[in-house]
Amino acid sequence: MIDADDLAPRDWDCLRCGRTASMRFRGLCPGCRDAVRAGARRESREVAVAEYEPKMNVTPNAVALKDD
């Protein structure tokens, strides 16, 4: 069982900038975390894609064209 004292914030060095910050787990400090999130944020956009057209060498299935 995990003790509540084990999850208390400790002073850790940031893995990105090296500053010491109080964190529960070793990783990025709050300033670096916000900078990474802001840099990764992108606006959505509409992408136009041409309609599918089969290549000329593609032939229909022979079974589907079979006359009964």
Say which DSSP state 27 is in. Answer: S
Distance in angstroms between the alpha carbons of the first and the last residue of the chain: 73
d(CA 32, CA 65): 63
Report mean pLDDT in 10-residue bins for the chain, 68 residues.
76 94 93 94 90 73 64
d(CA 43, CA 36): 16
Q: Flag whether 6 is in a domain.
A: yes
Q: Flag whether 4 is in a domain.
A: yes
Q: Is the pTM of this model over 0.85?
A: no
Q: Flag whether 59 is in a domain.
A: no
Q: Flag whether 11 is in a domain.
A: yes
To which residue do tokens 């509540």 refer?
4
Q: Is the distance from CB of 8 to CB of 24 less than 8 angstroms? A: yes
State the pLDDT at residue 53.
81
Q: Flag whether 28 is in a domain.
A: yes
State the pLDDT at residue 67.
64
Q: Flag whether 68 is in a domain.
A: no
How many structural domains compose the chain? 1
Q: Flag whether 53 is in a domain.
A: no
To which residue do tokens 């079979």 refer?
66
Which range marks the domain in which residue 15 is found? Answer: 1-36
